[in-house]
Amino acid sequence: MGQAISKLTIKGYKSIRNLEDFELRNINILIGPNGAGKSNFLSFFELLKATLEDNEQEISKLGTANRLFYMGSKVTKACEFKLHFAGGVTGFRLSRNLTANPE
């Protein structure tokens, strides 16, 4: 089994403008009003999985850059994710740049 994520940073993803060094535990409960970003926080893990698997089809199912980027692609140019793992494993940073589909 892989190392658990102990802390993460999400910048520029959907309604999450800047979530820095968010600590995760074995069990986490997300509480907040409608529209606060709970579902977007969870969908981050779908994007992370699809990105690590290089699954462009799954990434495209999550939406266009205007839907994935905080306030749309005209305001936010890239999503940035930083993960830290339990057990002293070094974290890594991933920037995801999406471009408009030429038609």
Burial of 29 (0-12, 13-18, 19+ CB in 10 A): exposed
Write phi, then psi, for 31 (nearest 5 degrees).
Answer: -125, 135
Q: What span, in angstroms and rounded, lies between the C-alpha atoms of 41 and 53?
A: 19
pLDDT band at 93 (very low <50, low <70, confident <90, very high): low
Evaluate whether residue 58 is within a structural domain.
Answer: yes
Residue 87, number of CB atoms within 10 A of its CB: 7
Number of independent structural domains in the chain: 1
In a domain? residue 77: yes
Domain limits for position 90: 5-96
pLDDT digits 0-9 by tens, 22-64: 999 999 999 999 999 999 999 999 988 888 898 888 888 888 7
- Output the pTM of the full model: 0.78
Residue 87 covered by a domain: yes
Give domain status of residue 102, yes or no.
no
Write the CATH number for 68: 3.40.50.300
